[in-house]
A and B are shown apart, each in its own frame.
Chain A
Amino acid sequence: MAKSIDVSDLSIYYGDFLAVEGVNMTIRAKAVTAFIGPSGCGKSTFLRTLNRMHEVIPGARVEGKVMVSGQSLYDPTIDPVAVRRRIGMVFQRPNPFPTMSIYDNVIAGVKLNSRKMRKSDADALVERSLRGANLWNEVKDRLDRPGMGLSGGQQQRLCIARAIAVEPEVLLMDEPCSALDPISTSAIEDLIHQLKSEYTIVIVTHNMQQAARVSDETGFFNLKAAGQPGHLVEFNPTTKMFTNPDEPSTEAYISGRFG
């Protein structure tokens, strides 16, 4: 049930401060879309508007439209909690719940919403999600141990398992590998490739090679100048972005001649 996302004329504010200006793009279903760009250009901010996590910050608001399967996300009748149930998110730093075991972390999304579930169903969900996150073999013997006891890479995969356990339609990933070593990174990239068949995935990354490896389409964000709002410079299939980009500034950034 993966969904595509249509963004039109989206401007994002923190109070009076315009952070990102006039974004238009279509994020394809069952594909990986990567956002690249320098720090502070609004990639993460934009990502967070896609499941209404942006407004968790006081004073934050948006103008413009985000359409998911014909529904406007920022329509007053839309419940942000319901949006986040459908559009999951994985964060830069692994953040398993410290009071919960590995098992409880995985089913947190179900359990904390007090949805009734039989033990056998819960067991099956935990196994399915952990298998989906490539973590099952490593933790199957210690599901009752605290989630915080895992290594950083395992914790991040636990967070991915937790996110896919609520069966979202879209998975947003905010620099999911920036705190991880190359081996854990590669495990997560493999995982992204597998998840692509079922989910729409949007990933923010600082690692150009990673964007080239995992994504089907890439968006390049940049600041017009210091102090100016960020904007979407170019949005194209990844192969085109990395071989023959339309914009010279994209090429400059990708090839390392930034400025």
Chain B
Amino acid sequence: MNHPTTTTTTLVEPDAFAITADLTQARLPRWAVLLVGVIALGVAGLVTLLTGWSPTGGLVLAVVLMVAGFPLWSMVVEGRRAAADRLATSLVWGAFVVVLVPLVWLIWMVVSHGVSAIDAEFLTYDMRNVVGAGGGIFHALWGTILVTLAATLISVPVGLFTAIYLVEYGRGKRLARVTTFLVDVMTGIPSIVAGLFALALFVLIFGPAIRVGFGGAVALSLLMIPTVVRSAEEMLRLVPGDLREASYALGIPKWRTIVKVVLPTALGGIITGVVLAISRVIGETAPLLVVAGATDSVNFNLFEGRMMTLPVYIFSQYSSPGVVPVGTEGDPPGYARAWGAALVLIVIVMVLNLVARLIGTYFAPKTERRR
């Protein structure tokens, strides 16, 4: 009876009862997880009330009870394998919640503190001659946009061409191996080092005490390039070799194959990678503070004069928040401005991420089913 077809037919024969009986297994009801959760919360709440623990302690206790209790119950009713499954599931969910807590908390803090600071004046005024309340982030917003844009304009061509070399031309060559290694090293450069490098470079060329927005862009591009290279490389490698061969077989030269077949196929992923690289560097503070400096005025010229950026703005508003007017209570005015700028920065990063996703789906290779 070891032939597969006969086994399946046995199941419908009368003596199949014995077999199906062996296959059944006691299962916890679907609401079991809810019940355990409620009990864990209840017990933890009781302990917290009786011993006077903090709510955080009680919450941790509830999670521990849940993770320990649910598999234990499952062990008694369902057996070992199911219990191990429940334990792993509980741990994965627990880890998920632990990761989510700081994220939600952070967003909540920034939104609740920052939203009151944001109004039309905040978005359209700079900090020139502002003493006390008032003023805004206009100069920092434009600084961030310009510096990040310039950094992107530097990094994308360099990163993309490096990735194209690594995938299409350098396979197995010594130069490619060295490049890959150096890119990996570059990924680990501390941002302040990138900033100091850019500063040293510009001081070397333009003399001491130079502070320009473009220097900030150079520093940021040092941080962006490895990310762009890495993501573009991965995306290009994902393009099937079949497509390249199909193109060669039509008598299309290699460079045209890369430009017209390989790059369009990988475009969605490459753009997503670039946008993610931008959102990584847009919040950098140290290198910009060092090279681009800080200012209270609007400066649209990347190549002359100091340029404010949002992270540096947040930093300077927090480190020198001004004074509370005599006779009033409350925080110094700089704190609210720092929170407001932080909120704007987070919104920019989120919008960038959403745009990356939209672009990624829009440019993804289309099939009939996905339309």
A, B bound: yes
**Which B342-368 residues have a C-beta within 8 angstroms of A?**
365-368
Interface size on A, residues (CB 8 A): 33
Q: Which residues of B contact A146 (CB under 8 A)?
A: 365-368, 371
Interface of B, helix, strand, loop or mixed by DSSP: helix
Residues of chain A with a CB closer than 8 A to B250's CB: 84-85, 88, 108-109, 112, 162-163, 166
Q: Which of A82, A96, A97, A163 has the most chain B CB within a 10 Å cutoff?
A: A97
Chain B contact residues (Cβ within 8 angstroms of A): what range?
20 to 34
Whether, in the assembled complex, B265 has its beta carbon less than 8 Å from a beta carbon of chain A, the answer is yes
Q: Let me know if A82 and B245 touch, CB within 8 A.
A: no
Q: Which of A22-30, A51-59, A188-196, A246-254 lies at the interface?
A: A51-59
Closest Cβ of chain B: how far from A169's Cβ, in Å?
12
Does B366 lie within 8 Å of A99, measured CB to CB? Answer: yes
B242 interface residue, CB < 8 Å from A?
Answer: yes
Identify which of A93, A98, A148, A163 contacts B249 (C-beta below 8 A).
Answer: A163
Q: Tell me if A95 and B264 are in contact (CB < 8 A).
A: no
- B369 an interface residue at 8 Å Cβ cutoff? yes
Interface members, chain B 312-329 (any A CB < 8 Å): none
Q: Is B252 an interface residue (CB 8 A)?
A: yes
Q: Of A89, A145, A159, which contacts B368 at CB under 8 A?
A: A145
Central interface residue in A53, A93, A98, A109, by most chain B CB within 10 Å: A98
Does B299 belong to the interface (CB within 8 Å)? no
| Residue interface bits B239-256, CB-to-A below 8 A is 1, else 0 | 010111111111111001
- What residue of chain A has the Cβ atom nearest to residue B239's Cβ? A98
What is the distance, in angstroms, from B172's C-beta to the closest C-beta of chain A? 6
Let me know if B261 is at the binding interface, CB within 8 A.
yes
A93: chain B residues within 8 A (beta carbon): 242
12 contacts between A and B (CB under 8 A): A56-B244, A56-B248, A84-B248, A85-B250, A86-B251, A93-B242, A99-B261, A99-B264, A113-B252, A146-B371, A148-B366, A166-B250
> Is B177 an interface residue, CB under 8 A from the partner?
no
A97 touches B252 (CB 8 A): no
Contact B368 A148 (CB under 8 A): yes
Are the C-beta atoms of A149 and B365 separated by less than 8 Å?
A: no
Q: Check if A136 is an interface residue, CB within 8 A of chain B.
A: no
Whether the pair A56, B245 counts as a contact (CB closer than 8 A) is: yes
Query: A78: CB under 8 A from chain B?
Result: no
Q: List chain B residues, Cβ under 8 A from A98.
A: 243, 265, 365-367
CA distance A145 to B247 in the complex (A): 20
Q: Please indicate the chain B residues that have their CB under 8 angstroms from the CB of A81 in the complex.
A: 248, 251-253
Interface residues of A in 64-116 (CB under 8 A from B): 81-86, 88-89, 91, 93, 95-99, 108-109, 112-114
Given A91-B242, A97-B261, A99-B265, also A53-B249 (CB < 8 A): yes
Chain B residues close to A by CB (< 8 Å): 171-172, 240, 242-253, 256-257, 260-261, 264-265, 267, 365-369, 371
The distance in angstroms between the C-alpha atoms of A88 and B248, with both chains bound, is 9
Which of these, A53, A109, A148, A166, contacts B367 with CB under 8 Å? A148
Question: Which of B171, B240, B257, B367 has the most chain A CB atoms inside 10 A of its CB?
Answer: B367
- Closest chain A CB from B11 CB (angstroms): 32
Closest partner residue, chain A, to B172 (CB atom)? A58
Bound state CA distance, A98 and B264, in angstroms? 9
From B240, B367, B369, B371, give the contact of A95 (CB < 8 A).
Answer: B240
Given the known interface contacts A53-B249, A99-B264, the answer about A113 and B367 at a Cβ–Cβ threshold of 8 Å is: no
Which partner residue on chain B sits nearest A101 by CB separation?
A: B366
A149 to B261, CA, bound (A): 18
Q: Please name all residues of chain A whose beta carbon is closer than 8 Å to the beta carbon of B368 when the two chains form the complex.
A: 145-146, 148-150
Chain B residues with Cβ below 8 Å from A159 are: 246
Taking A91-B249, A99-B264 as known contacts, 4 extra A-B pairs with beta carbons closer than 8 A to each other, sorted by chain A number, are: A56-B244, A85-B250, A109-B250, A148-B368
Name the residue on A nearest B253 (C-beta).
A81
Determine how close the nearest CB of chain B comes to the CB of A151; give it in whole angstroms: 10
Is the CB–CB distance between A51 and B249 below 8 Å?
yes
B-chain residues with CB within 8 Å of residue A145 when the two chains form the complex = 368, 371
B252 contacts A112, C-beta separation under 8 Å: yes
Contact A112 B261 (CB under 8 A): yes
Q: Which of A53, A97, A113, A162 contacts B248 (CB 8 A)?
A: A53
Smallest beta-carbon distance A61→chain B, Å: 15
Given contacts A148-B368, A149-B369, contact A95 B256 (CB under 8 A): no
Given contacts A97-B261, A99-B264, contact A85 B246 (CB under 8 A): no
In the complex, the 4 A-B pairs of residues with the closest C-beta atoms, listed nearest first:
A149-B368, A85-B251, A98-B365, A109-B250
